[in-house]
Amino acid sequence: MRQEIPGKTALDRLANENGIAIALIDETAHEVYVANNNSICRELNPNGEFETHCKAFCGTAFEEASEVGETVSFTCHAGLECRVVPIEGGERPLVAIIGRTFLKAENYRRATTRAISGDWKDHSPAEFFENVLLTGSATVLDRTAARIGGSAKKLKAVGDERKPQKLEEVAKTETVEEPAAEPVRKNPAPTVSNIVARFNRELGLGKETVRAVPRAEPQITEKQVEQKIELPALVPERKPEQVVEPAPQVLATPAPDVPVATAVPEAPKPRSNEQRAAEARAWRSFFGSLLKTDHAKAVESVLEFISLQYGLSALIWLERNDKKLVNTFAFGAMKNRKLRLGIAADDKRLIEAAQNEMPLELVERPKDGSPQGDRVMNLFPIGVGGEISAGVAIFEKIEDERVRRQIARFCQSIAPQMEILRLRGAVARGETLSTAVRRFSESLRQIDAEDVWIKLTQNAAELLKAERASLMVMNERTGALEIKALIGGLGKPGKDDVVGERVARLVFDKNKPIIVPDVAKTGLPPVAASRNYKTPSFMSCPLSISGKAIGVMSFADKASGQPFDRGSLNLFHAIASQIAVAIDRASLKEKAGEFEQLSVTDALTGLLNRRYIEARLAEEVKRSNRHGFPMSFMMIDVDHFKSYNDQFGHPAGDEALKLVGHVIRETLRGADVAARFGGEEFSILLPQTGPEEAWAIGERLRHNIAETVFPHRVVTASIGIASCSADLCSVVHIVAAADKALYEAKRRGRNRIMAFEQI
């Protein structure tokens, strides 16, 4: 029977208002009660019993906290920060695990990686990241731990003679000395209830609107918050590996019709209680719906909400990419415009602006230095865990300080929710990518050796949704790129064209990819109009093994009509290693085939050798016995070859054998197999060929040899033929029969044909 927990309502309230989880654990290492549990913990321990790695952390929390008798801190294997507080005075002792929240950005990024491709990838992304808890600093955990620790001293067991004091009452009356704040952020991460309460207080609404635990207002430093600095880099940046030339100018200011305040504005008029209440309801509604959508739609909703609430019309959403803030969505007058910001995401000015809950004001002065032409951008940073992860750029003057502060607080308030949505999106994209890579890998296993090049290219093109693609592989003997496959093109280049001259060779030599949004804006030579490309964008990527480039794969004409981008490159990188390995294996097979060909080929005549013809003869004999197909075998001997060697020398004899081999190759059909059997003897396998047809081929061959001009004298040949029959259809017997027929032809005067059936 579970213990009745007094103060559940207070635990729920404390957990929700501070954006953390509070779990009560008994001496059997079971969860007795959990308020606002982290979805990660809920997924890893669905039954409330600590499993696998969690046993070493939350599973030992009761024992460790009870042993020391005071608060214990730890960061668990999932990267979640926790405080453990002993609670005594109930039917049995308990401990409260407070937190289960991410305090460091690297910890939740590591969690994302584990969910995408690590040991958590089997969990559903929607449920796993449904309620990721992100708080601003350890201050929230320490304050809550001290509060619960002080309140727990007054808890009594249910049924005690004295009426136990409720935790709700203790939470209202208990005075606890709170630990000093860590210098990460000045305020804990807001939640829906205390965000709205805070706005209500600023809007002048009464407490009856929303109940919330009072919070200390932020201490604004005396330093000037509205920093006016020159815009350091509202200009394009050039990546060394990109061929594409950036646009000559960046549109970082609103359209001409966007109003920009130049005169001193009038003081804002006081608003009525109805207006304030309506604004508060708008805030509540927006925060409540934010997590019900995906990251892209949430970004659009945030900009639209700010625009409608404050009458602003030129906004851009900036997202952190590595150490830079890059624009991912534009709204209003900034639609379809690009911004390159030279301020790094970890710039201390941005961090200070976030701490002070005010924007960073950037001013771009005209070239003549006239202040009348200043263009202003208010940058509102967004971040969690002391890191700036995004930002909202507004390209209008905002004279009302109250509006600036509210937008800044709004941006900081949505940071945890936006980070959760980003995590969900990252995991979902990771699942999609993982599925695509798995399917691509399965498709590779189904590729036959004969069509490996074309299938590799087709599968890669389908994955990237490109209508055209090419695969070029370096020929080590010639040192040139060799086209192995073309998809959607108009055929291979002409004999005089240099393969890969425009782009592929550069990509191969530098071993770096190239993404070109618009080829017309590059210095590349134009493509012939006859190629009929549908879009101006293409992507060319090297294929390498152990850092050494082995080929280049290029893509053009995206089916959607959109340009290739970083997402396209990331998708290709996910399969590039598999493609490179497949190419390396195919190349090795080709080389092995060449070596095998050399091992079964006669070096003098270029015909196959005896070992190969005997193996093929065995296959044809089995096929003939199984299906009843006709098959014939021919033995050829150069007449009086010993005297030719003796009279004209061995080099002349070798030249004579080369000429005989040439005549044989030119006379036979495509399916016939010719070999040098040994010395001056040759053999020919004639699949699906009966005695009469074999005789005709032999006669044509004998005639061609006799008519060929040799350097020193006329050369002739004798031929013996044996055909597979019910009485004669084994390798040994057919070879012996053809050899016996050859001997009879030589005995009867040479330069003639004999069939075994004639003997």
509-518 pLDDT tens trace: 999 999 988 8
| Bridge partners, residue 387, by sequence | 384
Q: How far is 316 from 331, CA to CA, in rounded Å? A: 6
Chain-centre distance for alpha carbon 204: 49
pLDDT at 753: 95
Average pLDDT (10-25) is 86
Range with lowest mean pLDDT among 384-388, 560-564, 619-623: 384-388
Q: What is the pTM of this model?
A: 0.45
Residues catalogued as catalytic? 680
Average pLDDT (551-560) is 92
Q: How far is 701 from 668, CA to CA, in rounded Å? A: 8
Q: How confident is the model at residue 446 (pLDDT cuts 50, 70, 90)?
A: low
Fold that domain 449-595 belongs to in CATH: Beta-Lactamase (3.30.450)
Q: What 3-state class would DSSP assign to 159?
A: coil
Q: How far is 178 from 146, CA to CA, in rounded Å? A: 7
**What's the whole-number average pLDDT of the chain?**
76
Task: Tell me: pLDDT of 610 over 80.
Answer: yes
Short-list 49, 89, 88, 48, CA closest to 66: 88
Q: How confident is the model at residue 366 (pLDDT cuts 50, 70, 90)?
A: low
- Match 């709205």 to its residue by tokens: 196
DSSP assignments along 364-426, one per residue: E--TT--GGG-EEEEEEEEEETTEEEEEEEE-S----HHHHHHHHHHHHHHHHHHHHHHHHHH
The DSSP symbol for 508 reads H
Q: How far is 734 from 752, CA to CA, in rounded Å? A: 20
Average pLDDT (601-606) is 85
Q: How confident is the model at residue 657 (pLDDT cuts 50, 70, 90)?
A: very high
Task: Tell me: pLDDT of 175 over 70.
Answer: no
pLDDT at 46: 83
pLDDT at 338: 67
Average pLDDT (28-47) is 88
pLDDT at 647: 93
488-493 long-range Cβ contacts below 8 angstroms, 24+ apart: 488/461, 488/557, 489/531, 490/530, 490/531, 490/532
User: Domain spans of the chain?
Assistant: 8-189, 233-254+275-427, 449-595, 608-758
CB 578 within 8 A of CB 531: no
Residue 402: both structure tokens together:
């109250």
| Numbers of helices and strands, H then E, in the chain | 20, 23
Average pLDDT (501-521) is 88
pLDDT at 186: 35
DSSP assignments along 420-481, one per residue: HHHHHHHHHHHHHHHHHHHHHHHHHHT--GGGHHHHHHHHHHHHHTEEEEEEEEEETTTTEE
pLDDT at 529: 75
Average pLDDT (579-588) is 76
* Residues whose CB falls within 8 Å of the CB of residue 346, separated by 6 or more in sequence, listed in order: 323, 387, 388
Greater pLDDT, 277 or 506: 506
Task: Tell me: pLDDT of 421 over 60.
Answer: yes
Q: How confident is the model at residue 741 (pLDDT cuts 50, 70, 90)?
A: very high
pLDDT at 257: 38
Q: How confident is the model at residue 185 (pLDDT cuts 50, 70, 90)?
A: very low
Task: Tell me: pLDDT of 158 over 90.
Answer: no
CB 406 within 8 A of CB 195: no
Q: How far is 140 from 142, CA to CA, in rounded Å? A: 6
Average pLDDT (683-702) is 93
233-254+275-427 has CATH 3.30.450.40 classification: yes
pLDDT at 324: 84
Q: How far is 648 from 659, CA to CA, in rounded Å? A: 15
Greater pLDDT, 249 or 564: 564
* Residues whose CB falls within 8 Å of the CB of residue 182, separated by 6 or more in sequence, listed in order: 137, 138, 139
Average pLDDT (289-313) is 85
Q: How many CB atoms within 10 Å of residue 516? A: 22
pLDDT at 253: 34
Q: How far is 326 from 281, CA to CA, in rounded Å? A: 32
pLDDT at 594: 54
Largest CA distance in the chain: 133
Q: How far is 724 from 625, CA to CA, in rounded Å? A: 9
pLDDT at 136: 62
pLDDT at 584: 75
User: CB burial class (10 A; 0-12, 13-18, 19+) of residue 479?
Assistant: exposed
Q: How confident is the model at residue 756 (pLDDT cuts 50, 70, 90)?
A: very high
Q: How far is 205 from 225, CA to CA, in rounded Å? A: 27
Q: How confident is the model at residue 591 (pLDDT cuts 50, 70, 90)?
A: low
Q: How far is 123 from 39, CA to CA, in rounded Å? A: 11
Q: How many CB atoms within 10 Å of residue 274? A: 8
Short-list 424, 435, 429, CA closest to 40: 424
Angle formed by the axes of helices 273-289 and 401-445, to 10°? 20
pLDDT at 744: 95
Task: Tell me: pLDDT of 104 over 70.
Answer: yes
pLDDT at 431: 65
Q: How confident is the model at residue 745 (pLDDT cuts 50, 70, 90)?
A: very high
Q: Which of 137-146, 355-364, 387-396, 704-713 is most confident?
A: 704-713
Q: How confident is the model at residue 601 (pLDDT cuts 50, 70, 90)?
A: confident
Range with lowest mean pLDDT among 179-193, 334-348, 487-501: 179-193
CB 194 within 8 A of CB 16: no
Task: Tell me: pLDDT of 219 over 50.
Answer: no
Same topology, domains 449-595 and 608-758? Answer is: no
Q: How confident is the model at residue 208 (pLDDT cuts 50, 70, 90)?
A: very low
pLDDT at 90: 65
Cα angle value 429/432/437 (rounded, 5°): 120
Q: How far is 98 from 85, CA to CA, in rounded Å? A: 8
pLDDT at 273: 62
Which class is domain 608-758? alpha beta
Range with lowest mean pLDDT among 303-307, 465-469, 516-520: 516-520
CB 120 within 8 A of CB 114: yes
Q: Which of 450-464, 473-487, 613-627, 639-653 is most confident?
A: 639-653
pLDDT at 229: 33
Residue type, 247: A
Average pLDDT (63-74) is 89
Q: How far is 216 from 578, CA to CA, in rounded Å? A: 56
The DSSP symbol for 564 reads P
Greater pLDDT, 451 or 674: 674
